[in-house]
Structure 1
Amino acid sequence: MRTSTEESSLQEELSVILAQLQQRLGNSPDLIMRSIRIPSSPTTHVTALHIDGLIDKQMMNDSGLCSNLAGSGSDLTTHGSTIQEGVYSLLYNHASALCEVSTTRTLDGVLASILSGDTVLLIDGIAEAICCGTKGGESRGVDEPTTQVVIRGPKDSFNETLATNISLVRRRIRNPDLWLEKMKLGKKTQTEVAIMYMKNTVDDELVQEVKHRLQKANLSAVLESGAIEEMIQDQTATFFPTIYNSERPDVIAANLLEGRVAILVDGTPFALLVPTVFAQFFQSPDDYYNRFDVGIFLRMLRYICYLISLLLPSVYIAAITFHQDMIPTTLLISIASARDGIPFPAFIEAMLMELSFEVLREAGVRMPRAMGQAVSIVGALVLGQAAVQAGIVSTAMVIVVSITGIASFSTPAYNVAISARLIRLFIMILAATLGFYGILLGCIVLLAHMCSLKSFGIPYMAPFAPFRLFDQKDNILRMPRWSFIKRSRLIHQEEAAESWGRAMNASSKDSSDSKGE
């Protein structure tokens, strides 16, 4: 009886190996097999195999692997002790000059190479296959980002091809310290995953922890980076994302220079960044491409809008239900007259409007792009006006829900914005039962929970908790670039000076000296 190793080896005749490959792939019609005839040795058979649509046909045609061998009339024994070895040597040397070449001695290795987009050359009588790196096929080009749009800055974004995404990062960081490691995840999909980091900047223990978690993730299929994100995060029972994702190469490059680790997954345009802190989700590339005063204003505006989207409906419910004496008399009379005849309490009224707004938002996202915005805007106007005229909700509640919805769109990161939408519902329940005391209790519990979170060993609320005065220059405020002399102490091995910071200081010193002269 044969062992499994013998069954998967390439010791059989070429016809038997080809039959086994076809059987393993279910006689798939996209398995292309090209037989090559050698004039100087008609008895030696060579077959080139690849999957249609996974290879770069232009590279295959330009390389001339098949035509070069078929047209060779030289004595092949000069390349080896036998004709078969001569054919193998000629093919290997010719392929090595044109593309990346590897070899395999097992049937499983041949299948893995074919399914990865390589072209495999099998020679009758040689128990070793030549795998030529001809990965290619149809892919989406480099387009503008769709989820992180900026007014000023680069307009390129990642696509679904891993090699393209890696090149976009390397074009921005031309430094030998930018290291890259690859692995395959997913027992069934065998998805290629790349880990990128700055060797002399990142903490070595962080890199080892990332590798350990990726290898430990027991995944049968990896179709998007979200599957990896869910498996390697520190804590699952939380509304807040503890791993940052982005489709912008400039954002990934900037965070790599700060000492973070990037995880790029083949087949998705979204790269992951670890570790992550809460303040990072409110930072936009616009903050660094504009003047620092503009960046300060925009960033503070995002924090205010996030608080509005989180607490405004709850504050309205608590004020109307329990704390009418805290509302100015004129405003209270106006609200009371608008609520005259409304059959529902403020909490039910707010829940109806919130759920209606969420339905419209989801419908706008799922509708075709040409119709989505029109459906969401027209639907909100029609439903709001109809609800007010029917006496189901008050005009004040429509205004509150509208402001809350608009404020939620100002958050740069979608996963943090949707966390506020979920938490808002629980705080509304507390406001309807305990008033402002319930809101305060909910905020205390929420802050305690956020302070307990960690992202790859880094406190999630850093540098607010624990508080670090040195690291406050790029959180709520975005100070001028010349103030960023040292790196953050949270994610780096050492507090080394930034090269651009030294250059900035040197240039400013030279300019001051020239003015003095």
Structure 2
Amino acid sequence: MIKKELHECLQDNISNIKNTFHHTSDLIVRKIKTGFPNSFEINIVYLDGIIDTDRIQEYVVKPLLEPFKTLEFKESLIDEIIERIFETADVKTTNQYKGLIDAIVQGNTIILINGYQKGIIIPSAKWKERSLEESQGERSPKGPVIGLTEQMKTNINLIRSTIKTPDLCVEAMEFGTISKTAVSILFIAGTVDKGILMEVRKRLKSLKIKYLLNSKVVEYVLEGKPRTIFNLARTTGRIDGVVSSLYEGRVAIIVDGFPHAIITPTLFMDMFQAPDEYHVKMGWFTNRIIRMICFILAVYSPGVYVAIANFHKDDLPNKVSKAIITKDELLPTFWELAILLFFIRVLLDASFRIPKSAVILLSLIGTIVVGETAVTAKLIHPVSLIIVGITAISSYLLANRGTLAAENTLRLLFLIIAHFFGFNGLIIASTILIIYMVSLKSLGVPYLSPLIPFRIQELKDTFYRGDLQTLINSKHTYTEDND
């Protein structure tokens, strides 16, 4: 059983550390003989492969081996070593085993001296990371292109390089009982909504897990319960996306090991914004309206088509009815759309699972099966293909904003309702949907804000992108539910 505090006996400490790491072969314990007047038995402990060995050799081992005549007081030896020998920043000490073990796991080097019940922690981590690249999930034709990386410190560095103010605050937390993962909360003091910040801290502190393998766990905690098909906390892989959210008074959460940040609170209207809108003149008024129309098409198109085919084909002109409604096709309209949507979903999933070299072949096979062959064989109506095509394209327009889950669920739900109840069912279902969305809150902020509750002063960056100078100088506020 390992004690909480270190022993004065060096060998006992080393034995306990080796037992904790189950005698793993990459745990290195190096014994050195110092150049001090009174020789001390010193061990250097680290995990091989995750530290900068050149740095340790140059700034730790080499200074310890050099003669140093003035270090004579046993009571202050560790303090004198830290102050006068080590040429590294942020040197810490601990007398706790847990702190020592955590430091080794995080890529630090530990120095233990026989006769002293305290260990020295030297920062030496050298984690492998990819170079800075363009954000692949949120590409933009104009504006900053650098995306976040898997290293949290690199991401914070990039954000601080843009937000050059002492008001930018970073709060560090750790989660996991088996393996600890660092999580940072970022906000701008004086700009952030204090109520939202307090709620973020409260919800994160409630997270109790063995390990943090996916940042989605943090998103779920921030969203709260019960679960919903809408994103109440969104992610972004762009630096400018994080920066603009912080300037708006929101909170960003970065999880070490994941190349994106979680932004909260998240509102429904955020899904229709895009980073390039703030860098180009074209589309300042129409872009978001087009995306809203596409969201409606993605959700309602199949259901509306089925409702017309099942209940209102006699209300259409005879020529129009013959052109767009199934006649002698094998499958009814409902099943045509259901099977086509299912097949499109399979193609999408398969395109991410197979080797890149086979994607073209998959596309060719999918085109043959779903397209001309199915129509020629009179399995499906050509208009059904058009409807599904419009639906798919409209869905993918907002895919990187996190709307796919809501779109897929609502589309299927409305398709079934339209098949049995027609337009009356769609109207009732839409009313229930709006009532449900009104009840949603992201960290206490109404999800449909600033539309419901209506706040005219916040509409300047909602349906269209307002004047940039006005947006920059205006203060964003959020309607909170404090009940």
What TM-score comes out, normalization by structure 1 length?
0.88
Separation in 1, partners of 2:105, 2:84: 23
Q: Secondary structure at the match of 1:380?
A: helix
In structure 1, the partner of 2:447 is: 460
Matches within 5 A, 1:120-269: 120-269=110-259
Matches within 5 A, 1:92-491: 92-94=82-84, 97-291=87-281, 293-336=282-325, 339-372=326-359, 375-376=362-363, 378-411=365-398, 413-484=400-471, 485-490=473-478
Question: How much has 1:374 moved relative to structure 2?
Answer: 5.1
- Show structure 1 runs of 5+ residues with no match: 493-517
Conservation of the 8 A alpha-carbon contact between 2:181 and 2:256: yes
Q: CA RMSD in A?
A: 2.0
Separation in 2, partners of 1:94, 1:351: 74
Question: Is 1:69 matched up with 2:60?
Answer: no
Amino acid at match of 2:383: A
In structure 2, the partner of 1:510 is: none
Which string of whole-angstrom CA distances, capped at 9 and with x for unpartnered residues, describes residues 80-129 of structure 1? 423x853x344312565422111110222110000011111111111110
Q: State which of 53, 74, 79 in structure 2 corresponds to 1:57.
A: 53
Conservation of the 8 A alpha-carbon contact between 1:287 and 1:296: no
Q: State which of 17, 28, 32 in structure 2 corresponds to 1:32.
A: 28
Question: How much has 1:298 moved relative to structure 2?
Answer: 1.8
Greater mean deviation of Cα atoms: 224-233 or 119-128 = 224-233
Amino acid at match of 1:385: E
Greater mean deviation of Cα atoms: 117-126 or 9-18 = 9-18
In structure 2, the partner of 1:512 is: none
Amino acid at match of 1:66: V
Separation in 2, partners of 1:152, 1:328: 47
Q: 1:350 to 1:301 in 2, by over 3 A?
A: same
Greater mean deviation of Cα atoms: 366-375 or 259-268 = 366-375
Separation in 1, partners of 2:286, 2:368: 31
Which string of whole-angstrom CA distances, capped at 9 and with x for unpartnered residues, describes residues 178-237 of structure 1? 111101112222111111101011122221211111111122211222111112213333
Conservation of the 8 A alpha-carbon contact between 1:296 and 1:478: yes
Conservation of the 8 A alpha-carbon contact between 2:37 and 2:68: no
Question: How much has 1:58 moved relative to structure 2?
Answer: 4.1
- Show structure 2 runs of 5+ residues with no match: none
Q: 1:370 to 1:295 in 2, by over 3 A?
A: farther
Question: How much has 1:373 moved relative to structure 2?
Answer: 5.5
Q: Secondary structure at the match of 2:266?
A: coil
Amino acid at match of 2:140: V
Separation in 2, partners of 1:232, 1:108: 29
In structure 2, the partner of 1:79 is: 71
In structure 2, the partner of 1:513 is: none
Separation in 2, partners of 1:491, 1:443: 25
Greater mean deviation of Cα atoms: 127-136 or 371-380 = 371-380
Q: 1:414 to 1:482 in 2, by over 3 A?
A: closer
Separation in 2, partners of 1:377, 1:148: 27
Q: 1:263 to 1:95 in 2, by over 3 A?
A: farther
Amino acid at match of 1:13: C
Question: How much has 1:385 moved relative to structure 2?
Answer: 2.5
Separation in 1, partners of 2:182, 2:165: 23
Separation in 2, partners of 1:96, 1:487: 47
Identity of aligned residues (%): 28
Number of aligned pairs? 479
Conservation of the 8 A alpha-carbon contact between 1:99 and 1:134: no
Separation in 2, partners of 1:135, 1:94: 22
Separation in 1, partners of 2:199, 2:327: 60
Conservation of the 8 A alpha-carbon contact between 2:63 and 2:86: no
Amino acid at match of 1:386: T
In structure 2, the partner of 1:503 is: none
Amino acid at match of 2:196: L
Conservation of the 8 A alpha-carbon contact between 2:291 and 2:397: yes
What TM-score comes out, normalization by structure 2 length?
0.94
Separation in 2, partners of 1:367, 1:95: 56
Separation in 2, partners of 1:90, 1:304: 69
Separation in 2, partners of 1:236, 1:168: 35
Question: How much has 1:140 moved relative to structure 2?
Answer: 1.8
Q: Which runs of 4+ in 1 moved over 4 A?
A: 39-43
Which string of whole-angstrom CA distances, capped at 9 and with x for unpartnered residues, describes residues 399-456 of structure 1? 1111110111111535212320121001100000001111112211111111100001
